[in-house]
Structure 1
Amino acid sequence: MIDSLPEFRSLIETVKKLAEADEANDVLSLLGRSEITIRQTGYDNWNGGIYFYTVFFAVEVSQFIEFRNDLEGWEKIMLEYLQLPVRHLENEEISRVTLVPKSGIASLTEPNPSRPLSSAEVRDKDHLTQYLNKVSEDELTENILMPLFRHLGFQRVTVTGHKDKQLEFGKDVWMKFVLPTQHLLYFGIQVKKGKIDSAGLTKTGNNSVAEVYNQSLMLLGLAIFDPDIGKNVLVDHVIIVAGGEITKSARLWLGSQLDAVQRRQIIFMDREDILNLYIVNNIPLPAAALPPAEPENDDLPF
């Protein structure tokens, strides 16, 4: 993957050599004076999956002022240089370059799901809540969770289990997270549309925690294939995601059934977590979650 640190460094070195060959001194200056990072910002499931990346150039404010009047032109130039070495890749594409002042990055605060929401955010949260009330489990996974986890920095967010019912044991999504040390953590996500409770017989739309427990154990013991490294790996953590509430009694029951090691491998995420993370990270709502557009007023002004 071109967003891995070794491959990205190699890509930047290749771009520098191309700029040297073109005697593009301004490009070389920008490359040498910028903090350059890459982030996956899109995904298309066409042709086995295509990953889209944005490359960010963080420059000093004084230099940013020099580029300000022609930001789009500079971003286009850098995009052409970056796309050239990876044009042979069928499943990865650098789709955008963004120049930003370093002070702008430094002033960004980490999204806090516990902070008070603005009136606009409360409105969006209401729209998303209504959408969650009517979505299927597949729609919850593909339209809500996959964009959310990609935005949070997870890589290779891959859906399994729903189209192939033989895999329907809770192995809904797997993904990985790259630590600053470049070590990898692998996550399996077990998605349930409704509420998870500890009752012996659950109401329609609810899920029994005993079923979740069995599926979690199966997921922790299964290997997944990571195509980036070409081998099977084990899941480090299971995230139990519910489109409804995960009751306190269900959490306690599940914790009592797991040993100390397994308890550290289980992460809970219910509806309120999904809503708050989605809103504070300013992720666009799915089209189906937006209210219908108001009809235009065709009345004549006289």
Structure 2
Amino acid sequence: MARRVHLIAYLDRCSEDELIEDVLLPLFRQLGFHRITAAGHKDKALEYGKDVWMKYTLPTLHVLYFGIQAKKGKLDSAGIGKPGSANVAEIHNQVSMMLGHEIFDPELNRRVLVDHAFIVAGGEITKPARNWIGNKLDSAKRSQIMFMDRDDILNLFIVTNLPLPKGALPEVKKFDPFDADIPF
């Protein structure tokens, strides 16, 4: 429970880049994904809706490609974005771009399409936001979208026993023997 509390506090204060680098990348590595590549999130160059792309090899040795669109805060369907939340229409545009744009896999030396897209939020993804995206996408694309919100991240972090990011660890005070009370 203490680890969960520290991770919640970290998710509240971390930036979007820290969410990706310190939380999502280690988590997906632990879950068995490989070739995890942050796709230019800091400068937005050549991102095409993907903050991260990665591969997952099935037991049959078939490979599936995944893209991640990550947002730090809450995803909702409000017409005007509130501080700390993102509008789902923006996510819809980015996910549509992600599913339609090829990525280069250097291991195969060819371009491939993303098979599935994760929409990840460091906060809550509201039910209206999920429904809005589902209604906007055609049935083929709808089956390619997976949602992961704060509760999913917390549960996966705890279940996989992944160490907390450095910024989530509480500060440990060093013992100074000269500050201790004299025992007499």
1:223/1:142 Cα in 2 relative to 1: closer, same or farther (>3 Å)? Answer: same
Match for 1:238 among 117, 120, 125?
Answer: 117
The equivalences for 1:133-144 within 5 A come to: 133-144=12-23
The equivalences for 1:162-177 within 5 A come to: 162-177=41-56
Which has the larger share of helix? Answer: 1
Displacement of 1:171 in angstroms is: 1.0
Q: Is 1:252 equivalent to 2:131 in the alignment?
A: yes
The answer to whether the 8 Å contact 1:161/1:169 transfers is no
Q: Is 1:209 equivalent to 2:96 in the alignment?
A: no
Return the letter of the residue paired with 2:2.
R
Counterpart CA distance in 1 for 2:119 and 2:32 is 18
Counterpart CA distance in 2 for 1:157 and 1:251 is 25
The equivalences for 1:40-119 within 5 A come to: none
Query: 2:65 matched to which residue of 1?
Result: 186
Q: Is 1:125 equivalent to 2:4 in the alignment?
A: yes
The answer to whether the 8 Å contact 1:161/1:170 transfers is no
Query: 1:280 matched to which residue of 2?
Result: 159
Counterpart CA distance in 2 for 1:168 and 1:205 is 22
Superposed CA RMSD: 1.2
**Aligned-pair identity (%):** 60
**Matched position secondary structure for 1:142:** helix
Return the letter of the residue paired with 1:285.
L
- Give CA deviations for 1:190-213 in whole Å, capped at 9, x if unaligned: 011110000100101210000000
- Give CA deviations for 1:258-281 in whole Å, capped at 9, x if unaligned: 111111000000011001100111
Q: Which is bigger in relative contact order (C-alpha 8 A, separation at least 6)?
A: 2
Match for 1:293 among 169, 172, 175?
Answer: 172
Counterpart CA distance in 2 for 1:172 and 1:152 is 18
Displacement of 1:224 in angstroms is: 0.5
Larger radius of gyration: 1
Match for 1:151 among 30, 45, 61?
Answer: 30
Gaps spanning 5+ residues in structure 2: where?
none
How many residues are aligned here? 181
Please identify runs of 4+ aligned residues in structure 1 that moved more than 4 A: none
Displacement of 1:168 in angstroms is: 4.6
Counterpart CA distance in 2 for 1:128 and 1:262 is 32
Counterpart CA distance in 2 for 1:170 and 1:247 is 21
